């Protein structure tokens, strides 16, 4: 999720350390107290809201805005968190991954962005280590247009992105790109997939290099580990 009001990037004077100074609209990037991503190193194991994926739609568009590649989906696919429905808007990637587990930096991360009727956002994070190639990531790569381009795409079904296990880490956070808006419900899946080195190189080449925001302070927030 991004805004083009003021140009930003991942390196130099437009990089993450400076986002909050680039625009008043981006002030949460430096002033927020519930920012994402985070290093998931301390968490409580407890009963949390159950999650359910009810995905039935197909991709409609693939967009490369220079920061990442988005796959947009037709309506009708929902993530339910404790019974509250959030409709799937789209999927995009970061490489290296943004969230960490006990300090481990992942090769890539997919974000499945959802929105409820009242405008609230819930984002699912899928983490990937380097290893065997991922068919899921390959579908995104095959659909990806060049930077600045948008193309019609029927590259896959939303159901392809449903994880096999529903164990997750949950916490309250923000968008990981400007304007870094808070109030985002994060669901980071505990199971980890793999991507090949070739796929990782291709992901970063699409955006001219790494496109991950560094981890942010957890502060007073509670992270929960929930069994699916």
User: Which residues carry out catalysis?
Assistant: 67
DSSP, collapsed to helix, strand or coil, labels residue 200 as helix
- Distance, in Å, from the CA atom of 101 to the CA atom of 120, rounded to the nearest integer, reads 26
Give the E-state strand segments of 65-181 in sequence order: 69-73, 78-81, 84-94, 100-101, 104-105, 108-115, 121-130, 150-152, 168-174
Burial 40-74 (b: 16+ CB within 10 A, else e): beebeeeebeebebebebbbebbbbebbbbbbbbe
Listing DSSP states for 174-189 in one string gives E-SSTT--EEEEEEEE
Within the chain, residue ranges assigned H as helices are 19-22, 28-31, 135-143, 197-206
Asked whether the bond before 223 is cis by omega within 30 degrees of 0, the reply is no
């Amino acid at each position: 999720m991004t805004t083009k009001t003021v140009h930003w990037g991942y390196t130099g004077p437009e990089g993450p350390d400076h986002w909050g100074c680039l625009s008043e609209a981006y002030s949460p990037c430096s002033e927020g107290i519930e920012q994402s991503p985070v290093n998931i190193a301390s968490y409580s194991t407890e009963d949390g809201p159950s999650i359910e994926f009810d995905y039935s739609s197909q991709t409609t568009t693939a967009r490369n805005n220079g920061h990442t590649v988005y796959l947009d989906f037709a309506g009708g696919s929902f993530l339910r968190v404790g019974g509250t429905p959030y409709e799937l808007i789209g999927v995009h990637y970061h490489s290296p991954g943004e969230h960490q587990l006990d300090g481990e930096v992942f090769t890539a991360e997919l974000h499945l962005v959802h929105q409820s009727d009242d405008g609230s956002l819930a984002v699912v994070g899928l983490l990937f280590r380097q290893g065997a190639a991922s068919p899921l990531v390959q579908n995104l790569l095959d659909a990806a247009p060049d930077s600045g381009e948008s193309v019609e795409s029927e590259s896959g079904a939303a159901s392809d992105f449903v994880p096999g296990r529903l164990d997750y880490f949950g916490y309250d956070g923000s968008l990981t790109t400007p304007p870094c808006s808070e109030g985002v419900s994060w669901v980071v899946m505990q199971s980890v997939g793999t991507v090949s080195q070739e796929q990782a190189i291709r992901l970063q080449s699409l955006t001219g290099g790494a496109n991950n925001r560094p981890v942010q302070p957890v502060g007073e927030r509670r992270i929960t580990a929930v069994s699916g």
